[in-house]
Structures are given as structure tokens and as C-alpha cells.
Structure 1
């Protein structure tokens, strides 16, 4: 190859573009794009099981202190509650409030819109390949 490919820079740049787009789309709703993504995760996973801060850490690859900060903001704005778990008093499950549930369809719709925009003009086969490659890159970094 005549030209070096800087995959890390490209992925970082795309990540920043996605974050900026998310933030812009959710700005008028009183939450950041990251908070919206976390609310969406809690909503979807919460239908199947209890969701805890450690699940947010694992799903979004963010540190415990960052998770705490994001969850504090969501709690202050009335989007989530932290509830004790009977089996272990140290654990706090994350529960959406009515305010967050009312907004969940909008959040899901906007996330879907962003996904569609990102994948516009890309074939199904290329999307499958992209998913496989990104998974492998993530695994290589684990």
C-alpha cells in the first residue's frame, strides 16, 4: 500500500461526529446524546432484566466515575430513579421514571434516524462486514 491508513483517527473522528449529531438532536429535550443513548439502553434492557450502573459501564465502555456523573444528571432531571435491590443492599437498579418513558419513543426514533443516516447508501453486505470488522477491532482492543 502506498498510503498508511490511520484507522484509529478515522474511528475517533466518526465517533465525535456521531456524538455531536446526537447532542444536537437531543439538545431541545433537556438531555445530551449520551444521556439519551443510556436512557434507550435502560429502556430496552429493562424490559428483560434489572439494569445496574455496571451494565452501563460495560455497554458504553465508560468508567464508573463517568457513569455516576451521567446517572446523577439523569436523576436530577427526573429521568431515572435508583432503587435498592432486596438481595443486595449495595446494588441500585436503574428505573426509568414516567417522564423518561413518555420520551422513550422519541429517543428510539431519533436513534433510528441517526443509524439510518450513517448507513445511507451502504449495501446490506457491507453493513454486515462493517459490523463483523468493528466487532473484531473491539475484541482486539479488549
Structure 2
């Protein structure tokens, strides 16, 4: 029995493999400053403006449980802390400490280097198109953060 002929390359497999490879390179590089990619992402987004854990989780592509453990680790290391929001007394935000800011700035240079190396094989004029394509593939309604796969209910 012959397999069906493929009309397209396995885009899903290629994107997964590329993402896995890049994630591993980034994790190894960020180990130089004792951060994980998750921690770096949360620190950078928390430095941009006052944000809650839920907002940071969405921006950092993290589920709530992973976000809590990431912030716990950032607090343990003295890189961030949970604080009451300056604008909403009911909300708690993640504030980056001075130490966290220094580490995040150093780590961002590493992230930029790794991403630059990953794009080195793409002609400069093609980089924007490549990034636009990835954004398009993610979809306009892409919600940063893992989403559960919805399976049809059994009948």
C-alpha cells in the first residue's frame, strides 16, 4: 500500500524543528548569564511597562502555571518582585529590580546575537518578508501562550 503523495512539504515539522533548534541555542547562550529564555522574556516585558502576571504570561507565550513558577524563580534570585499596582490597588504587577534590569540588559544582547545568527542565512532584504510570513502563519488571532488542543467529543 503506497503512502499518499504529499502536495506540500511538512511545514509543521519544519517549523517545529526550527523552533526547537533555535530554542536550544538560545537556552545555551542565556546560560552564560544564568537565565532561561522564559525568564528573559518575562523580565523584558515587565520592564516595558507596569504589567500583571496574566498580561506577562500572554506576552511571553506562557501558561499561568509556568508563569507563576517563572516569577517565583525571578523573585528567589532577586531579579523581580510582585508589587501592588500604582494605578489599581487590586492588581499586583511584576516589577524588575535593579539587579534584574542589569541581567536582562546583558541577556538581551545575547538574545539579539542568537537571533541575528539565526537570520544570517537570510538576505537582509528578505528578513522582513520572512518575519512577516512567520507572523502571518501564527495568525491574526494568535494568542501568545500555549492553548489547549480542543478535541471533538466522542459520540
Match of 1:41 in 2: 45
Which has the larger share of strand?
1
Q: Is the Cα–Cα contact under 8 Å of residues 81 and 97 in structure 2 kept in the other structure?
A: yes
Match of 1:11 in 2: 15
- Whole-Å Cα distance in 2 between the matches of residues 108 and 80 of structure 1? 16
- Whole-Å Cα distance in 1 between the matches of residues 58 and 86 of structure 2? 23
- Alpha-carbon deviations, 1:28-52, whole Å to 9, x = none? 4222122122222323x1xxx3122
5 Å-filtered alignment, 1:78-117, equals 78-117=78-117
- Whole-Å Cα distance in 1 between the matches of residues 137 and 121 of structure 2? 23
Gaps of 5+ in 1: none
5 Å-filtered alignment, 1:50-89, equals 50-89=50-89
- Alpha-carbon deviations, 1:63-99, whole Å to 9, x = none? 1111111111111111101101255444211111121
Deviating runs (4+, > 6 A) in structure 1?
A: none
The alignment's TM-score, normalised by the length of structure 1, stands at 0.83
Which has the larger share of helix?
1
Gaps of 5+ in 2: 143-155
Q: What root-mean-square deviation, in Å, do the aligned CA atoms of Structure 1 and Structure 2 show?
A: 2.1
Match of 2:34 in 1: 30
- Whole-Å Cα distance in 1 between the matches of residues 26 and 115 of structure 2? 11
| Bigger-Rg structure (1/2) | 2
- Whole-Å Cα distance in 1 between the matches of residues 21 and 63 of structure 2? 21
- The total of aligned residue pairs comes to 138
- Alpha-carbon deviations, 1:89-137, whole Å to 9, x = none? 4421111112112223311210110111011031233211112211111
| Greater relative CO, 1 or 2 (CA 8 Å, sep 6+) | 2
- Whole-Å Cα distance in 2 between the matches of residues 121 and 140 of structure 1? 27
